[in-house]
Amino acid sequence: MERDQRVPGGARSAAATVDRPSHVLAPPSRSVVRLGFAAMALSLAATASGQPTGAIEGAVVDANGNPVPGVVVTLTGAGARVERVTAAAGAFAAAGLAEGEYRVTAVLSGFEAVEAVVSVRSGATAAVRIVLQIAPLFETVSVVAEEPRIFARNVVSEPMLRQQSSITAVTSVVDNLPGVSIQEGDAYGFDDWSSQVVVRGFQMTKSDAQIGTTVDGFPNGTSQYSGGSKANRFVDPMNLGGVEVSQGTADIASRSVEALGGTFNYLTDDPAAERTYTASAT
């Protein structure tokens, strides 16, 4: 390609220009470079998605074979951890898993946790069936035995004791109880020959031994005249804490010699740590 060029004096000179060779390319633009990186990323993603994967499908049932919904199933292995919850039919599934060994754990409240190992292969679906067993329930139960009360039991309390005179025999303090009748031969009841105790028709007289007697739970012989002394010979009214009266027949819980018509258990006061004095006036 030629181009005219004027020089001083009006002469014209011809200057030749050299054409740019056709094989020389212009530098690539930024847009072209960006498209190249995007194509490379797509190529890498396609390569990664093409890795061999498999799947796990399973079902969770109880001991009777019934499906169990709501079970949390955790799949751990091959550097991944997947969690699923069983549907109403007890089924679960997990796809896109890399090859390897997976530990499958099924957990539901009220059942024992179950673990299973499943192998996942490329292009295959591993099947697993998990059976849940009901978890045992352990509780501490305290059983307190109590003697059956099939008859009336009364206790002479302190207010009832105060109603009696301090010189009254201890056998007389139970005279206010229903079904009990006391007849003493003297003020202190020392005359066992003429004393008589009746509990609902059963008697303790000089010849009949149908009512048992104990002092603080210890027997003091039979209740008849020749069988032993009555409680008033051992317990003073001022030292009496109360009387337990069982008005039923055959009180086998009593340690008395006889208990056909009931028992009397005279309770004494506990001894004090220091010397004390008690005064009473009537």
CATH number at residue 245: 2.170.130.10
Q: What is the pLDDT of residue 25?
A: 45
Instruction: Give the three-state DSSP class for 135.
Output: coil
Query: Do the domain assignments include residue 236?
Result: yes
Query: Does residue 22 have a pLDDT over 60?
Result: no
Query: Do the domain assignments include residue 39?
Result: no
Query: Do the domain assignments include residue 28?
Result: no
Query: Do the domain assignments include residue 159?
Result: yes
Residue 23 identity: H
Query: Do the domain assignments include residue 205?
Result: yes
> Using 50, 70 and 90 to split pLDDT, how confident is the model at 92?
very high
Q: What is the pLDDT of residue 46?
A: 40
Query: Does residue 32 have a pLDDT over 90?
Result: no
What's the pLDDT tens digit per position in 121-178? 999 999 999 999 999 887 888 887 765 555 556 677 667 777 766 677 777 778 778 7
CA distance 104 to 228: 81
Q: What is the pLDDT of residue 30?
A: 53
CB 179 within 8 A of CB 192: no
Higher pLDDT, 71 or 177: 71
Q: What angle do CA 162, 163, 164 make, to 5 degrees?
A: 90
Into how many domains does the chain fold? 2
Query: Does residue 88 have a pLDDT over 70?
Result: yes
Average pLDDT of the chain is 75
Q: Is 189 left (phi over 0), alpha (psi -120 to 50) or beta?
A: left
Look up the CATH number of the domain holding residue 57. 2.60.40.1120
Query: Do the domain assignments include residue 209?
Result: yes
CA distance 239 to 176: 19
111 shares its domain with 179: no
Range of the structural domain that residue 108 is part of: 53-131
Instruction: Give the three-state DSSP class for 127.
Output: strand
What's the pLDDT tens digit per position in 164-200? 666 777 777 787 787 787 887 776 666 767 777 888 7
Higher pLDDT, 132 or 210: 132
Q: How far apart are the first and last CA of the chain?
A: 158
Share of residues in the chain with pLDDT > 90 (%):
27
Instruction: Identify the CA nearest to 213 among candidates 246, 245, 256.
Output: 256
Instruction: Identify the CA nearest to 206 among candidates 215, 194, 216, 214.
Output: 194
Q: Is the pTM of this model over 0.85?
A: no
Q: What is the pLDDT of residue 166?
A: 66
Q: What is the pLDDT of residue 76?
A: 95
